[in-house]
Every structure is written in C-alpha cells, then in structure tokens.
A and B are shown apart, each in its own frame.
Chain A
Amino acid sequence: MNHALLEVDHLVTEFDTDEGRVRAVDDISFVAREGETLGIVGESGCGKSVTALSIMRLLPQPMGQVVGGQVLFNGNNLAQCSLQEMEKIRGAEISMVFQEPMTALNPVHTIGKQLTEVLLLHKSISVQQAIKESVAMLDRVGIPSPDIRMTEYPHQLSGGMRQRVVIAIALACKPSLLIADEPTTALDVTIQAQILELIKELQTEMGMSVILITHDLGVIAEVCQQVVVMYAGKVAEKGSVFDLFDNPQHPYTRGLLESIPRLDSIPKSKLNTIEGMVPGLLDLPAGCRFANRCPIVDEQCKISPPLIDHVSESHQVSCFRWQKS
C-alpha cells in the first residue's frame, strides 16, 4: 500500500448561522495515499465540499471554523498552520479545482495573467520563463493555439476549455495533491469524459494524488481507487472502490447504488428509492443520521450514533446493523 500523503483525522467543522451553530462536518477521518485517487461521494449538503474547504483552510470567514481534529499533510498539521505557511502550500503543494470554471476564473484578467500569477508567486523565475511555462501548460491540457489563448479572457472560452484552464492553473506548480470539487458536474458528458481522461493522464505523468468530490457514482467507479461515502456530515462507509461497489454494507450506500437508473435496466421499471430526505443540520437526530430513511432501522439506531466498524482491513462502515442486512 502506498505511503499516506494526507491524513484527515477526526475533523470537525462548524458554521455560525442565524439559526445557531451547525456542525457541517462531524468527526470524519480518511487517508489519501500517494499517487491514488480518493473519491468523496454524497448528496448535496452532506459536507463533502466543506471537507475540502477545511483541508484548504478556505472556509468562509468568520462563520466557518475547524473546531476539532487534524489534517496531516507531509507531517504538518494544516489545521494549525499559520496563514503565511498555508499560502505557500496552496497552489504549490495542494491545488483545488472547483465546479464552475466561470466563477473560479477572474473575468477581468486574461488567461495568461491568471496562469503566470501562480508561477510567479511560488517559483523564483522570470516573467519570460513564466510565460513560456504557461504556454506549455495550456498546450499540455489540450488547449489549441495556446499562445493566442494567453491573451484572451475567460468569457471567450467554452465551458470545457475554461475547466482546462482551471486545471492548468491548478497544476502549473506540479502539486502533490489535487482536490477536485465536482470538476465535471457543470459539463456535458462528452466534455466530462475528456476532462476526466485529462486528469487521469496528468496524474500518472506527475505522480500526484487526487481527491475527487462528486455526487456521481459512475465517475467514482471510473477513476477512484478509494471511496468515502458521506451522509449528513458523517462518514457512512469507506473502503476500496471494489469494496464499495461489490460489497456495500451501509444501507445508504446500497440505496444509492440501487436508485441510479442504469443503461441496462428494464425500461419503465420501478427504481429503488431511499424514501424521505436528509435531516437538516439544525435538527439532527440523536442516533444514526440515516435512521429516518433506513429500511433496516432498529430501536438502538435512534438512541445513539453508530461507531465505525471494520468489515475487512480496507473496508469500514458506520452502522449497527450491517451484519444483519
């Protein structure tokens, strides 16, 4: 097994809202290993993006705070780093790609300016050298006539091309970890396939690790080796992609897998559903957070939250009744 690059250990993140303090991420732990792709999957509001922002220390201030746990990156606890240290890590060691490339790029600066900025900030190189490297990077991510594109503005590019630019900026300094938060959700399937392929290629080329956040189980199966399933701020299940897809143990993971329409399913057949909906973060149940939607719920589930249980060495589940299902 590869060496651990990033260890998230009992991370707790809270937000101050008008209605009170909410715990968006509640005691989650996982490890991203060198050269591997870790997928975080879950529905809207489950805390997957907040997890990424907590790692990067990009939580909206002053509302969002990491109140517990640690984020170990190369032995450094990022949760305790000073902002100066963090600025040296962001963009150089850990980079991030966001869902909507139009909002991630600055509309009033050229592509060239935004791309050279990150190189000039983190590397001691001349402007000429930075321009040269930027053109090479744009070329690498598959942007035709990169030297012309350098002088253009984000609105002049298509959605897929913009996401390529964002990836070029993120990878310009060859980081060891890329966090991609729904990088293909806003794109069409044919463009999604292109972008996923590009990320895969660059990952092999640079030997970096990727944390891929998505709601799409198809994307997870396609590119990830390790998977974390999140539900209402907690880890429901985690393991290798084969553990999760071949042998899902948490009733939520099973429900998710059964509720997606597949290309080979019988047309107009009834899809399995997970009844009800995710509890609000302001009125979380005392017991298991999935209890109100769970098909195998029991009295015990409503009283106290389940602990992490080992299915195998690589596979963990947070459910009282997984052995009975």
Chain B
Amino acid sequence: MSRPILEVEDLKMHFPVKDGIFLRTSKFNKAVDGVSLKIQPGETLGLVGESGCGKSTLGRCISRLYNPTSGSIRFDGQEISKLGSKKLKPIRQDIQMIFQDPMESLNARHTVGDILEEPFVVQKIGDSAYRKQRVRALLDIVGLPARSTTRYPFEFSGGQRQRIGIARSIALNPRLIICDEPVSALDVSIQSQILNLLIELQQEFSLSYLFIAHDLAVVKHISDRMAIMYLGKIVESGVSDEIYRHAQHPYTQSLISAIPIPDPHNKSDRQIITGDVPSPIDPPSGCAFHPRCPKAQDICKNQAPLLIDRVNTTSTACHLILEPPSI
C-alpha cells in the first residue's frame, strides 16, 4: 500500500467554554476527542454523523482553519498540525475545502472571475493573462459558460453556485479536498449533478476527498471507505459497502435503519433509537452512546470502548461485539 496522503492520529479539538461573571474557562467542549484516520491517494473517505458530532470541526482541523488542541495531522508524510501560517501557505494549495452553503462561502461583492482568480493571486501564480485563461478553463471543467466571469454569485442558482465553489477548490490542483456537506442544501435533481461532477473530477485529477455529510445514502454512494462519528469519536469505520451490509456498532445500525427507503413495498421494521445526542461539553461516562443504546450493559457505562480492528476490515468501538480482533 502506498503512503497515505493524510494520516490523522489521536486528534483532539477542545473549545473552551467561558462561564460566570469573570468568563473563566470552566469546561471544554470536546468537539473532536481523539480521532485517528487515514486517506490513501485517490480515495474518498466519507465521514457521517448527526449534527454536533464534530465532523465539520474535524474537517476544519485538517484544513488547519482551526488549531487543534493535540494530536498529529500528517499530510503526505509532513506533520502540519503545529505549523504556523507562513509554513502552512504552500500546504494550503494542496488541501482545499468545499462548503455547504456556497452563498455564504462566496464573496457576494466579487464577480465570479475575481473569486476564481483569487487563489492564483494569493499564491502568486502566473500573470494576469495566464490567470484569466485558467479561470475560463476552470469554468469549463465544472460546466459553466465562460461569460460567467463578469457575473455575481447571486445571479446563479444553488447548484451553479456550488459549481463555482468546486471550481475555486480545484483551481490550484490540490491533492486533498475536504467537502463539508457539499450537497445538503441542494434539491435531489441538482444533488446528483454535483455528485457526478465530484466523482468525475476525482478520476480526472486523482483527487482524494474527505466527504463530510449527514446523509448516509449519499456518503455510501461516493465513498470508498467511511467512518461514523458520534460525540467527537469515531465509532465505526471500514469499507463503505461492508459497513452498509454488516454494520456492527449499534449506532451505525440504527443510523442505517432510520433512513427512509424510497420504496413503498419496503416494510422492514425500523429500530428507532430514543433520545437526543448528548452535549459534547458533558458527555456521558464510558461509551458516549450508552444512554441511547438498546443493548447497553454495565460495562458500557463505566469503560470507554476502543476502536478495534475486526476481521472484516472494519474497525468498531463497542464492548458488545463478540467477533475477535484481527491480528
């Protein structure tokens, strides 16, 4: 196996929670609490979880929009979790982001031409003529007409705006793109256009993706492997198809079972988990899922399970799986 493009080890991002009259830091919001993952070149890792599980925070730590509290992030072998902004600048070319709401992530006062040219200006690449030519080429790649350069983001529909966001993210030939809910705000018929575009781009430019979303069907479609997050921790990870067919963790199982299937003949019994996601400021003891888990035992309340490799290439963090760990 080749060297992973991204290796994250025991990453933690704890945000201080200020409280009281003197705004002392009394507690920490443990948004990401010890996450390890790997992404191979050309691979898509899907990251699934409900709101507040820390998936976006994890994405932002990897792209170094946040300074992680501890742990390591190695990009193509180089440790980047502690780098300062000067040393990060060349790395920023290689790691790009696509955001959920392109209306918010595109500057409304700039034309599309300016928006797409900016990455080249920031990184001091080429002269004006070269940049203009690249902008036209980028628009063509994402399927927008060349005349779009003089228009403003509000003149486009949601799907087209997301294409502009994608064009910007691939402008500098990155190697890794963090896609943070890129299709959640789009209608289904537009969503499939954008997913197809992302898959095409990956093949053409051999990109690696970290694809963050809450929709398991979308993630399963686009990802080679996926990881399921709950309250700042990965509870299960493995090959997407394997996870979908043989989910081991009770949380993954209930997540899959909660998805409404677009087939009126499907009358399978849902296993509906009760309750809400607890707060990451004061997470439950032991396994964070135990208050909602239908199978919880005493051990789950006292001891946090470790993410252990199982025989079928899947890793699961659960005390109740009898399958032996692989050696």
* B-binding residues in A (CB < 8 A): 43-44, 158, 160-161, 188-194, 196-197, 215-222, 241-242, 245-246, 255-257, 259-265, 267-275, 277
Asked if A193 and B270 sit within 8 Å, CB to CB, the answer is yes
**Bound: A2/B257 CA distance, A:** 32
User: What's the Cα separation between A194 and B50 when bound, in Å?
Assistant: 14
**Please, which residue of chain A has its CB at the minimum distance from the CB of B189?**
A274
| Contact (Cβ within 8 A) B273 A190 | yes
Q: Is B196 an interface residue (CB 8 A)?
A: yes
Whether the pair A188, B50 counts as a contact (CB closer than 8 A) is yes
Question: In the complex, which of the residues A256, A264, A273, A277 contacts B196, with contact meaning CB atoms closer than 8 Å?
Answer: A273
Per-residue interface assignment for chain B, residues 48 to 76, with 1 indicating a CB less than 8 Å from any chain A CB and 0 otherwise:
00110000000000000000000000000
Hey, what's the 0/1 contact readout for B77-120 against A, CB within 8 Å counting as 1?
00000000000000000000000000000000000000000000
Q: Could you say which interface size class chain B belongs to? A: 35 or more
Would you mind naming 18 contact pairs between A and B with Cβ atoms under 8 Å apart? A43-B188, A188-B51, A189-B50, A189-B255, A191-B50, A192-B258, A193-B257, A215-B188, A218-B261, A245-B264, A255-B189, A260-B262, A263-B216, A263-B244, A263-B259, A267-B240, A269-B221, A271-B192
| Residues A277 and B188 in contact in the complex (CB < 8 Å), given A188-B50, A190-B255, A190-B258 | no
Contacts of B257 in A (CB 8 A): 193
CA distance A241 to B266 in the complex (A): 12
**Docked-complex contact B276 and A271, CB < 8 angstroms:** no
A217: which of B44, B157, B188, B220 is its contact (CB, 8 Å)? Answer: B188
B290 to chain A, nearest CB (A): 15
B214 at the interface (CB under 8 A from A): yes
Cβ–Cβ contact A265 & B262, under 8 A: no
Q: How far is the CA of A257 from the CA of B159 in the complex (A)?
A: 19
Known: A44-B187, A189-B255, A277-B157. A197 touches B272 (CB 8 A): yes
Name the residue of chain B whose CB is nearest to the CB of A193. B258
CA distance A161 to B277 in the complex (A): 12
Residues of B within 8 Å of A275, CB to CB, are 193
Interface residues of B in 138-192 (CB under 8 A from A): 157, 159-160, 187-192
| B222 interface contact, C-beta 8 A | yes
Q: Would you call B204 an interface residue if the criterion is a C-beta within 8 Å of the partner chain's C-beta atoms?
A: no
B189 to A259, Cβ gap below 8 A?
yes
- A267/B272 in contact, CB under 8 A: no
Contact B262 A267 (CB under 8 A): no
A277 to B191, CA, bound (A): 12
Interface centre among A196, A217, A265, A267 (most CB of B within 10 A): A267
B277 to chain A, nearest CB (A): 8
- Is there contact, CB below 8 Å, between B191 and A259? yes
Do A261 and B260 form a contact, CB below 8 Å, given A43-B188, A190-B255, A215-B188? no
Contact A190 B192 (CB under 8 A): no
Q: How far is the CA of A196 from the CA of B262 in the complex (A)?
A: 15
Q: Are B264 and A221 in contact (CB under 8 A)?
A: yes
Residues of B within 8 A of A (CB): 44, 50-51, 157, 159-160, 187-193, 195-196, 199, 214-218, 220-224, 240-241, 244, 254-266, 270, 272-274, 276-277
Question: Nearest Cβ in chain B — how far from A153, in angstroms?
Answer: 17
CB-CB under 8 A for A189 and B264, given A263-B220, A267-B241 = no
- Cα-based distance from A158 to B50 in the complex (angstroms): 13
B279: nearest residue on chain A (CB-CB)? A158
Instruction: Kindly identify which residue among A217, A218, A264, A277 contacts B159, using a CB–CB cutoff of 8 Å.
Output: A277
The answer to whether B188 touches A260, judged by C-beta atoms less than 8 angstroms apart, is yes
Using Cβ atoms and an 8 Å threshold, which residues of chain A touch B258?
Answer: 189-190, 192-193
CB-CB under 8 A from B266, the residues of chain A are 221
Minimum CB–CB distance from A270 to chain B (whole Å) comes to: 6
- Chain B positions within 8 Å of A43 at CB level: 187-190
Task: Assess A259 versus B270: contact at CB under 8 Å? Given A245-B263, A277-B157.
Answer: no
Residues of B contacting A219 in the complex (Cβ-Cβ under 8 angstroms): 260
Closest 8 CB pairs of A and B: A218-B260, A261-B221, A259-B192, A43-B187, A188-B50, A193-B258, A271-B192, A274-B189
Q: In the assembly, what is the distance between CA of A218 and CA of B263, in Å?
A: 7
* Given A221-B263, A273-B193, also A197-B270 (CB < 8 A): yes
- In the bound assembly, the distance between CA atoms of A260 and B266 in angstroms comes to 16
Instruction: Write the chain A residue with the least CB distance to B159.
Output: A277
With CB as the reference atom, state the residue of chain B lying closest to A218: B260
CB B110 to nearest CB in A, in angstroms, measures 23
* Alpha-carbon distance between A196 and B260 when the two chains are bound, in angstroms: 10
The answer to whether A271 touches B195 (Cβ under 8 A) is yes
**Docked-complex contact B260 and A268, CB < 8 angstroms:** no
Residues of B within 8 A of A192 (CB): 258, 260
Question: Of the candidates B192, B262, B270, which one forms a contact with A245 in the assembled complex, judged by CB atoms under 8 Å apart?
Answer: B262
Inter-chain CA distance A129–B189, complex, in Å, is 50
Shortest Cβ distance from B187 into A: residue: A43
Partner of B50, one of A190, A265, A270: A190
Q: Could you say which residues of chain B place their CB within 8 Å of the CB of A265?
A: 221
Complex: A84 Cα to B255 Cα, angstroms: 46
How far apart are A6's CB and chain B's nearest CB, in angstroms?
22
Chain B residue contacts of A271, Cβ below 8 A: 192, 195-196, 221
A272 to B44, CA, bound (A): 21
What is the CA–CA distance of A221 and B159 in the complex, to the nearest angstrom? 26
Q: Which residues of B contact A255 (CB under 8 A)?
A: 189
Task: Name, among A189, A219, A277, the residue most crowded by chain B CB atoms within 10 Å (CB to CB).
Answer: A189
Separation of A186 and B196 alpha carbons in the complex (Å): 25
Task: Considering the complex, give the chain B residue whose CB is closest to the CB of A227.
Answer: B264
CA distance A245 to B274 in the complex (A): 30
The answer to whether B192 touches A272 (Cβ under 8 A) is: yes
Contact of B217 among A191, A220, A245, A261 (CB under 8 A): A261
Chain A residues lying within 8 Å of B241, measured Cβ to Cβ, are 267
- Please indicate the chain A residues that have their CB under 8 angstroms from the CB of B160 in the complex: 277
Q: Which residues of A contact B265 (CB under 8 A)?
A: 242, 245
- Measured CA separation A268–B279 after assembly (Å): 35
Residues on the B chain within 8 Å of A194, using CB? 272, 274
